[in-house]
Structure 1
């Protein structure tokens, strides 16, 4: 309020000076006495009129340290209208008060007064903004973070404007990077383009860059990954703007800048879905997701909600995770008809009651034990949950005439060397057997590791880095296939749309990634130097763990589908009687010792090759 009063006083002073100087300039600094009379009659009305119009145009309500072109336009409007009213006033005062003494100002005076007024009122506010900027520290460059922005397009232009507006970020923008040679040495909002990506390391070293923001929201993943790989070698703090498809409103602002994460380095192109095909089997249908509180299950629920199912049934034994999913869906999809069901797939009576009561038409089966070392130590639980539990769901789908069943499988089911992988391979066998014997369409979808899922290596590494290390890797050569949780869920749903029954779909996982490289990248992105600040420790392969994962059975060729990231194995005909007999055997030995349980698994899953040293544990 005190600052507004100062502005009003400044405006009064400069309006009077502007009017006086307009007369001086018109009459070559020798104002006739009669015009001085009219000046005295005009000063107060002109000032009052202009101040009132300034108030109407909110020139005393703006926060001037954020002033922009809009405020300058308001000044022009206010002064222009004030001059127009002043001209009308000069006609009226001559008519009523001066009678035969006709001393109206020449139009040239009004034009000069208009120019001086705009310059004076605008100048005051510009000086005020500059002084505010100095006080808030924008010009204290020595204490600011030295920033380099990669990208010199529309996003960078908006970002520069935002950074200059938000002084608390205290950035000193050193320059821009862009591969377009025509932009080199050009300026955007006062910031110069210094060169292409090949100059990043040199510029960072010479200019002591502390932070890099990658402002290329429309760039493809491959381009972004290459630039991030260049930037991470600079040891600068890396930040990025999310992709255009992540920014729903398309606006660029400070709040959307985030740290570069491992998903940016390993992530893949956005999945393009055939929404029409997906809608055909999800929209207005009753959908059941087992294990709906888990990493994949919860993401399936989020993706399914977009396609407007008639009802979404979310089944899980663990109430805490599924509660979080419920709260999220309540917020994002308030109109979604959903039902949270606490129960176990091991409880066949509970399952039958759920299927009988809600009549699901499509089932996504994501409930499973998935931790390899834990299942090696507890094979009975893998059998109870992964094998017998899945069998219970398969039976209910057949009994209650479900239209489609989609099994979530894993690359560890291919030539398995561990109990978890073998249990999931037997699930695939059951899926193909039930498809032969039932009117329900049964399919399985097989993919590798999912970035950031519960129990995956990424959260473990992050915790170890937060504690100062060491980061533990089992073997320097171990590698895995990775995809993001949303991508995995979207492709599972898409696979369900193109399924006819009996297929094992294999998702394109891209190239395998060395786990040690993943660890090094995470350490670097956290602002540390691998093996200097944070040590990497090799602990040896765990029981049942492979150096390399496979995504398909060696003896079966894959064929492509209508989606470029989904492939399919030729369906195998498996007798349902084999499954029924196997389940009986599993039930008989499930409470026996470890060796008996593993013996049955070896018999039922011919591709399971148990490592010799495991028997001695």
Structure 2
């Protein structure tokens, strides 16, 4: 599949974020000509609005990935239409992946207006760029599994279920879907631009430094020698490794480029058995991490670190859905996509990447895992 992207002009919004950095690294390794538009590395996965400080921790996957010199990168806000349009017009892309977003549920309660401006008007802005383009053939808007009205069902949501996210983040992504639907009906269908949305589950993997996410919280606890604190141990989510989601995005981008009829709305998630609780995730991480500590050599970056434990402590935070699953039959049937790494492997690869990163080999670890997954 990656051979398809060799020589293709690809535009990625949010390229300095967690998923964006992995996607950009893959595209560079595939030989694509990549144009990335995003906020400063380390900023776009935190609140970037008046009244909120930029993150003080300068760890970010984009810098770690060492792709900056291999792509055309523009640092800008997705809300700044003029700057976005100028860079987009210079890029003249064939394929567009829209990942730029304010992606944290808790931050959306702190700054709902910024969340809607970024996630809704940001989508309008990139749609306007695509609408005016004479080169784009394939456009994918990456949203979330949280776009659905969550009834706490025990079965997975399908693509034709009602869209109505509860919190400002989830609701803004529902709105982003509706914006995309409108542009398809009003403009893109007539121009034969193939457009899809991808509703992905919770992604995990090496290099996620965001706040209020279970796996980054596990990593921070492990590195600091503290216990993992779980707010909602029974919350069930369709967790998947970041390369799983990105493989689906890349497949959608390719499939609809080659066949307009493949465009549509796709759930992207793990097999049903891998929709697990936060406690399961934390336990798997702790077990993998502690095994690495037990087997580490004296000069290892892990030497001297304490075994990792788990503690449960609800902080009385804002509402978050407790139960969420996806039915991914459509993408499996229509595009022949299927997950490769189960939740055990996803956690193992996350810990593996973290250990190598602590040894100063983060970029090499990305390349190794990309080659292993797509090889």
In the alignment, the residues of structure 1 paired with residue 290 and residue 331 of structure 2 have an alpha-carbon distance, to the nearest angstrom, of 42
Checking the alignment, whether the CA contact within 8 Å between 1:432 and 1:443 is kept in structure 2 is no
19, 24, 43: which one pairs with 1:301?
24
Give the unaligned 5+ runs of structure 1.
1-273, 331-335, 567-617
Output one character per residue of 1:96-149: Cα deviation in whole Å (capped at 9) or x when no partner. Answer: xxxxxxxxxxxxxxxxxxxxxxxxxxxxxxxxxxxxxxxxxxxxxxxxxxxxxx
2:170 paired with 1:421 = yes
| Larger RCO (CA within 8 A; separation ≥ 6) | 2
Corresponding residue for 1:526?
Answer: 289
2:106 paired with 1:373 = yes
In the alignment, the residues of structure 2 paired with residue 476 and residue 397 of structure 1 have an alpha-carbon distance, to the nearest angstrom, of 42
1:343: how far off? Answer: 1.2
Corresponding residue for 1:93?
Answer: none
Corresponding residue for 2:7?
Answer: 284
1:517: how far off? Answer: 1.9
In the alignment, the residues of structure 2 paired with residue 476 and residue 461 of structure 1 have an alpha-carbon distance, to the nearest angstrom, of 13
In the alignment, the residues of structure 1 paired with residue 97 and residue 236 of structure 2 have an alpha-carbon distance, to the nearest angstrom, of 28
Checking the alignment, whether the CA contact within 8 Å between 1:428 and 1:504 is kept in structure 2 is no
Corresponding residue for 1:382?
Answer: 115
User: Which one has the largest radius of gyration?
Assistant: 1
Structure 1 residue matching 2:320: 3-state secondary structure: coil
1:527: how far off? Answer: 2.9
201, 210, 226: which one pairs with 1:469?
226
In the alignment, the residues of structure 2 paired with residue 428 and residue 388 of structure 1 have an alpha-carbon distance, to the nearest angstrom, of 12
Corresponding residue for 1:339?
Answer: 72
Identify if the C-alpha distance between structure 1 residues 537 and 322 changes in structure 2 by more than 3 Å, giving closer, same or farther. closer
In the alignment, the residues of structure 2 paired with residue 559 and residue 426 of structure 1 have an alpha-carbon distance, to the nearest angstrom, of 26
In the alignment, the residues of structure 1 paired with residue 90 and residue 331 of structure 2 have an alpha-carbon distance, to the nearest angstrom, of 39
Identify if the C-alpha distance between structure 1 residues 489 and 504 changes in structure 2 by more than 3 Å, giving closer, same or farther. same
In the alignment, the residues of structure 1 paired with residue 122 and residue 277 of structure 2 have an alpha-carbon distance, to the nearest angstrom, of 34
2:143 paired with 1:406 = no
In the alignment, the residues of structure 2 paired with residue 329 and residue 351 of structure 1 have an alpha-carbon distance, to the nearest angstrom, of 18
Checking the alignment, whether the CA contact within 8 Å between 2:8 and 2:94 is kept in structure 1 is yes
1:520: how far off? Answer: 2.3
Checking the alignment, whether the CA contact within 8 Å between 1:290 and 1:314 is kept in structure 2 is yes
What is the TM-score normalised by the length of structure 1? 0.42
Checking the alignment, whether the CA contact within 8 Å between 1:376 and 1:544 is kept in structure 2 is no
In the alignment, the residues of structure 1 paired with residue 118 and residue 87 of structure 2 have an alpha-carbon distance, to the nearest angstrom, of 18
1:462: how far off? Answer: 2.4
321, 328, 338: which one pairs with 1:546?
321
Task: Report the aligned-residue RMSD.
Answer: 2.8
Identify if the C-alpha distance between structure 1 residues 325 and 537 changes in structure 2 by more than 3 Å, giving closer, same or farther. closer
Output one character per residue of 1:333-391: Cα deviation in whole Å (capped at 9) or x when no partner. Answer: xxx5x211111110111112112222122111111000101101211011110000111
Corresponding residue for 2:355?
Answer: none
In the alignment, the residues of structure 2 paired with residue 557 and residue 505 of structure 1 have an alpha-carbon distance, to the nearest angstrom, of 7
Structure 2 residue matching 1:560: 3-state secondary structure: helix
In the alignment, the residues of structure 1 paired with residue 103 and residue 144 of structure 2 have an alpha-carbon distance, to the nearest angstrom, of 9
Structure 2 residue matching 1:406: 3-state secondary structure: strand
In the alignment, the residues of structure 1 paired with residue 30 and residue 35 of structure 2 have an alpha-carbon distance, to the nearest angstrom, of 14
Structure number having the greater helix percentage: 1
In the alignment, the residues of structure 2 paired with residue 435 and residue 469 of structure 1 have an alpha-carbon distance, to the nearest angstrom, of 49
Output one character per residue of 1:529-555: Cα deviation in whole Å (capped at 9) or x when no partner. Answer: xxx9734123166323111123369xx
Identify if the C-alpha distance between structure 1 residues 497 and 541 changes in structure 2 by more than 3 Å, giving closer, same or farther. farther
